[in-house]
A = this chain, B = another copy of it.
Amino acid sequence: FDEAASRAAYARQAELTKPAGALGQLEDISARLAGVFGEPTPDPRGAAVIVCVGDHEVTREGVSAYPSEVTPAMVNAFLSGHAAVNAIARSVNASVTILNVGVATTLAPHPSLVNAPVRLGARNIRVESAMTRSETLRAVLLGADVARSAVEGGADLLVAGEMGIGNTTPAAAVTARLLRLSPEAVTGRGTGIDDERWTRKVEVVEAALSRGASSADDPMEVLADLGGFEIAAMVGVMLQGAACRKAVILDGFVEGAAALVAARLAPNFQAFLFAAGLCAERGHRAQLNALTLSPMFDLGLRLGEGTGGALAVPLLRAAAATLREMRTFAEAGIPR
């Protein structure tokens, strides 16, 4: 992160033809983008959404409103270009890549699918660790690989998205452990479960945490113990994005769990991270607070897939455009 470029951008914002601070949070975003891209007038253009997909044996515990069969069906929807993330990404001129790191069924090849399952679903975190250390590392590296390809393909803005029936349960467990919060505080309604199922979900998160297999001080251990393959892959996407000095856009709650892990692994990572919307899933606000991020909007999204992240793409482009294309009072010859 280029602090000098960021400071130069802040200084320029103060001189542009508008009252000081009148562009609000957009000014901070623009200056952070300057730091990310290492130049006072950044020009982020290409945007890529990487949807990481995996299943979770914890769905056996009745934590989700949908069965695991929906995961491969949604992958087909993504590949056909007709899911929410496709529609939104197209409208903001962002690419969509699907990364299968752990769907429970075998998927047919497809040009838009990176088909590299580490295992056919993460293990049931109520009774055992989701992944081994080496499985976890493989999923992280797969995410990093896809992110590198996206960057090589011209992506300046990277959105890590996800899909995987049941994955708000491991995301809640990871968040609870890393932030030392209670299961109730971070367990939400996911795809829309009722009170009874929510109580069960909290119990499952509680049981997973009670196994005590991971220490909050070892983020990779927490990820392996309580996470899942698509969460691990998103950690890789995010860390690679930051390593390539690109802006990483944070979308929803499951993505937030990955961001918490990434932030623990790489202290400077947060500087490259931009929060899109405030997700309606309980626990997202606690994640953003821990990451010291302010969301750009609050539209009540709770879908994941990278939909919120894709919506933020034009806002980041616009913020950068103000730095790049506006003139200062002096340049424009306007009295102040």
Q: Chain A, 99-135, contact with B by CB distance < 8 Å: what is the 0/1 string?
A: 0000000000000000000000000000000000000
Report yes or no: A324 in contact with B87, Cβ–Cβ below 8 A. Answer: yes
Residue A244 at the chain B interface, CB threshold 8 Å:
no
Residue A180 at the chain B interface, CB threshold 8 Å:
no
Segment of A2-10, A61-69, A204-212, A228-236 engaged in the interface with chain B: A61-69
Instruction: State how many angstroms separate the Cβ of A291 from the closest Cβ of chain B.
Output: 18
Residue A301 at the chain B interface, CB threshold 8 Å:
yes
Which single residue of chain B is at the shortest CB-CB distance from A29?
B299
- Near B by CB (< 8 A), chain A positions 154-197 give 190-192
What residues of B have a CB within 8 angstroms of the CB of A17 in the complex? 74, 77, 82-84
Report yes or no: B314 in contact with A22, Cβ–Cβ below 8 A. Answer: no
Report yes or no: B334 in contact with A70, Cβ–Cβ below 8 A. Answer: yes
What residues of B have a CB within 8 angstroms of the CB of A82 in the complex? 17, 325-327, 331-332
Q: With A74-B334, A87-B324, A91-B321 known to touch, is A299 a contact of B299 (CB < 8 Å)?
A: no
Which single residue of chain B is at the shortest CB-CB distance from A192?
B19
Q: With A74-B334, A92-B318, A336-B66 known to touch, is A23 a contact of B84 (CB < 8 Å)?
A: yes
Complex formed: what's the CA distance from A24 to B296 in Å?
15
Complex formed: what's the CA distance from A332 to B66 in Å?
16
Q: With A23-B307, A80-B332, A92-B318 known to touch, is A326 a contact of B87 (CB < 8 Å)?
A: yes
Residue A90 at the chain B interface, CB threshold 8 Å:
yes
The answer, among B22, B23, B311, for a CB contact under 8 Å with A315, is B311
Residue A333 at the chain B interface, CB threshold 8 Å:
yes
Report yes or no: B18 in contact with A84, Cβ–Cβ below 8 A. Answer: yes
Residue A335 at the chain B interface, CB threshold 8 Å:
yes
Residue A49 at the chain B interface, CB threshold 8 Å:
no
Residue A26 at the chain B interface, CB threshold 8 Å:
yes
Which single residue of chain B is at the shortest CB-CB distance from A316?
B91
Report yes or no: B26 in contact with A299, Cβ–Cβ below 8 A. Answer: yes
What residues of B have a CB within 8 angstroms of the CB of A336 in the complex? 66, 70
What residues of B have a CB within 8 angstroms of the CB of A18 in the complex? 83-84, 303
What residues of B have a CB within 8 angstroms of the CB of A70 in the complex? 334-336
The answer, among B21, B77, B332, for a CB contact under 8 Å with A192, is B21
Residue A25 at the chain B interface, CB threshold 8 Å:
yes
- The 8 A-B pairs with the shortest beta carbon distances in the complex, nearest first, are A24-B300, A297-B297, A314-B314, A19-B191, A87-B325, A22-B303, A73-B334, A87-B321
Q: Could you tell me which A residues sit within 8 Å of B by CB distance?
A: 16-26, 65-67, 69-70, 73-74, 76-77, 80-84, 86-88, 90-92, 190-192, 280, 296-303, 307, 310-311, 314-315, 317-318, 321-322, 324-327, 331-336
Known contacts A17-B83, A22-B191, A84-B322; 14 further A-B pairs (Cβ under 8 A):
A19-B65, A19-B66, A25-B300, A26-B299, A26-B301, A80-B327, A80-B332, A82-B331, A87-B318, A87-B326, A88-B321, A92-B314, A311-B318, A314-B314
